[in-house]
Each structure stands twice: as structure tokens, then as C-alpha cells.
């Protein structure tokens, strides 16, 4: 089958690799319907994180079940399914508490590589959710977004305790930040401040529910948020970048007693204990337990209540994956969908 292989920074190729097979009796094999490139795939693409060998990429997917292991009970061949970027057993105490991304037996789908024609899904019963109904093109894009970026933005908004009466600041205008805005809006936030200086992303932010745009960054951005909130800072801040600057900006933009939900994969971030003590905010984040939210998100998508698939502003044939990475790296595209 064809798969996307990263050979090194900036070097992404579509190559022939062996088609995956059932390994564990809890596995399923899906024929990938569509997949996409994630902002986090850009860390190795840019050489910020290192790959020790050529690596099959991708962790987002929707598809049709081709084969199931002997112990799989809830998922059947032919089911159209969405899963999270983290496979989870669905039965441990961590899963039961809604933190499936930190399941005691978690398998990162990045280690599987779903930018491929077929993918092996560990813990199929705990990981996959069956979709029923008519999958229109926009719902299909939405379901693919649910696999990671929508679920991650949703978790960030929940972690930031976005809700009625709250002012929510969003640091990061990539797909996750934009979908964090959508989530905050659905969760009833009163005011949503998108921090962005890119016109096309600002427009999408507003379409998803942003009430205000702040173009300033760093100290100026923090000052602007304070000014807009009676000097107090936002009640809730979503950090969707993963850099030191974004984390600092998020913590310092939040009022004492407020909540920072951080989902940007941390790169070189260190948090000063004294500053955090002084800030007296709530800080919660990590790899989003997307599986917790999938049933609700699928329902919202399949009833056309949300259109998260709008983050895909570039769709390419699978064989042009390299251009999909380049366009995101150069910020010509927010997010690239790859079709077979």
C-alpha cells in the first residue's frame, strides 16, 4: 500500500510499504477513507524534533473496518469509524475517568502512521466510534477533524472551563486554536478573543464564534487582553501552540482563579514556579482525550450543528502529500486533507 514516509526535515515521500495486519486480537484494520497533516507533524518536518529513522507519518483518520481481531466485539467489518490519535483500551481507571489519551495501555497512532491506505488500530473496541447516517462531503471533513484537531480544541476549551459568562482568550490560530474557538462558542462563552494576525484565519475565527480579534503578541498582547477585561485578564485561555512564548502569554493573560487549557505539544517550554504561584491560575493540558468527546462531536457533525471541517483549506490527492506539508509549513494552508 501507499504511505507517507518522512525521511528527514522537509523530506516527505509517498512510498510503497507492507499493508498492515492484525497483530493483537484487540486490533482492527481499517481502509483509510481520508487522512490529513497535523500541525504537530511540522515539528519533525522543521527539524525541531528529531526522527531517528525514516518514519511513516500520520495519526488522524476515518475509514471503513476491513478486518477485526478475535477479541473485538463492538466494531464490525464494514463499519464506518472515527478514532482518536491515541488508541485506548477503554476499560482502565484512567479511561473510565475520561483521560483515554493517557490510558494505561495507550498506543499513540503516530507510531502506527495513518497517512496510509490502511491502518492497524489497536484496542479497536476502546478506540473506534461507529458513524451512522449519510456522510456528506462536509460531514466527512468534520469527522476527520474530530479525530484530532476538533477533539483537541474541544478539550482545550473544557480544560480552560470556557462557558457562560466567561471571556476566553485563544493563543494560536492554527486548526486547534480555531476549533478551540468553535468549542468555546458551543460551550456558551460570552466573549471569545482570537489572537491572530492572519486575515484568512481571523475570518475563520469569526465564523467559528470569535467576538474579538487581537493582533498584538507577547507583552502587548497580554496588555490588550487585560485592557479588554477590566484589568483582570481572561477567565479562560486556550494555549494551542506549544512554545514558551505562547505558554507565558497564556498564563499571563489569565486572571487569578482563571483556567489555562494547554494543548500545544510542548517544545522547550519551562514554567517558572514562582510566576505560576503568583499567577494563581489553574493549568491543565496534555494530549487531548479526544475519545471522551467523540460521540458528542460525531452527533454535532452528523446533525450539521457544527462545521469543523472548514479548517481544511487545502485538499490534495494522497500522492501530493509533500506539497500538503510544504503548504502548511509555509502557512499557505491551515490544514491539508489527503484523499485517495
Binding site for a second copy (CB under 8 A): 92-94, 97-99, 101-102, 104, 230-232, 242, 244, 247, 255-257, 262, 265-274, 276-287, 289
Q: Closest distance between a second copy and the C-beta of residue 107, in Å?
A: 15
Measure the CA–CA gap between 267 and 287, rounded to whole angstroms: 13
Phi, psi for residue 248 in degrees, rounded to 5: -60, -45
In terms of CB distance, is 78 or 165 closer to a second copy? 165
Q: Residue 75 — φ and ψ, nearest 5°?
A: -115, 135
Q: Give the residue with the Cβ less far from a second copy, 23 or 276.
A: 276
Of the pair 205, 283, the CB lying nearest a second copy is at: 283
Q: Which of 296, 309, 155 is nearest to 236 (CA)?
A: 155
Q: Measured from the CB atom, is 229 or 336 closer to a second copy?
A: 229
Helices 137-146 and 290-302 meet at what angle, rounded to 10? 170
Ramachandran quadrant class, 331 (left: phi over 0; alpha: psi -120 to 50; beta: rest): left
261 DSSP assignment: E
Provide, rounded to whole angstroms, the least separation between the CB of residue 48 and a second copy: 12
| Minimum CB–partner distance for residue 168 and a second copy (Å) | 16
| C-alpha distances out from residue 25 to 8, 21, 32, 228, 274, Å | 34, 11, 20, 55, 49
Q: How many CB atoms lie within 10 A of CB 223?
A: 14
As measured in angstroms, the least distance from the Cβ of 99 to a second copy is 4
Minimum CB separation of residue 88 from a second copy in Å reads: 11
Nearer to a second copy (CB atom), residue 16 or residue 93:
93
Amino acid at each position: 500500500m501507499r504511505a507517507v514516509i518522512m525521511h528527514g526535515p522537509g523530506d516527505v515521500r509517498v512510498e510503497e510499504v507492507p499493508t498492515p495486519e492484525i497483530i493483537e486480537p484487540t486490533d482492527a484494520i481499517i481502509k483509510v477513507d481520508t487522512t490529513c497533516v497535523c500541525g504537530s507533524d511540522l515539528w519533525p518536518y522543521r527539524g525541531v524534533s528529531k526522527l531517528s529513522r525514516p518514519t511513516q507519518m500520520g495519526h488522524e483518520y476515518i475509514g471503513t473496518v476491513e478486518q477485526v481481531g478475535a477479541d473485538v466485539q463492538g466494531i464490525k467489518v464494514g463499519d464506518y469509524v472515527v478514532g482518536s490519535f491515541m488508541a485506548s483500551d477503554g476499560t482502565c481507571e484512567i479511561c473510565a475517568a475520561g483521560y483515554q489519551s493517557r490510558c494505561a495501555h495507550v498506543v499513540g497512532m503516530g507510531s502506527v502512521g495513518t497517512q496510509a491506505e490502511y491502518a492497524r488500530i489497536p484496542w479497536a473496541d476502546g478506540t473506534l466510534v461507529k458513524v451512522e447516517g449519510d456522510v456528506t462531503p462536509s460531514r466527512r471533513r468534520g469527522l476527520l477533524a474530530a479525530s484530532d484537531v476538533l477533539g483537541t480544541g474541544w478539550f482545550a476549551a473544557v480544560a480552560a472551563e470556557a462557558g457562560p459568562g466567561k471571556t476566553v482568550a485563544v493563543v494560536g490560530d492554527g486548526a486547534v486554536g480555531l476549533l478551540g474557538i468553535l468549542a468555546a462558542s458551543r460551550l456558551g462563552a460570552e466573549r471569545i478573543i482570537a489572537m491572530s494576525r492572519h486575515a484568512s484565519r481571523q475570518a475563520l475565527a469569526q465564523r467559528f464564534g470569535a467576538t474579538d480579534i487581537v493582533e498584538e503578541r507577547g507583552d502587548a498582547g497580554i496588555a490588550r487582553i487585560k485592557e479588554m477585561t477590566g484589568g483582570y485578564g481572561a477567565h479562560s485561555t486556550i494555549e494551542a501552540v506549544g512554545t514558551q512564548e505562547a505558554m507565558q502569554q497564556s498564563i499571563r493573560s489569565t486572571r487569578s482563579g482563571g483556567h489555562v487549557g494547554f494543548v500545544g505539544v510542548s517544545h522547550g517550554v519551562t514554567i517558572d514556579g514562582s510566576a505560576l504561584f503568583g499567577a494563581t491560575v489553574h493549568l491543565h493540558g496534555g494530549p487531548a482525550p479526544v475519545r471522551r468527546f467523540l460521540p458528542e462531536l460525531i452527533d454535532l457533525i452528523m446533525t450539521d450543528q457544527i462545521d469543523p471541517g472548514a479548517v481544511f483549506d487545502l485538499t490534495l490527492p494522497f500522492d501530493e502529500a509533500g506539497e500538503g506539508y510544504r503548504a502548511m509549513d509555509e502557512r499557505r494552508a491551515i490544514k491539508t486533507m489527503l484523499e485517495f
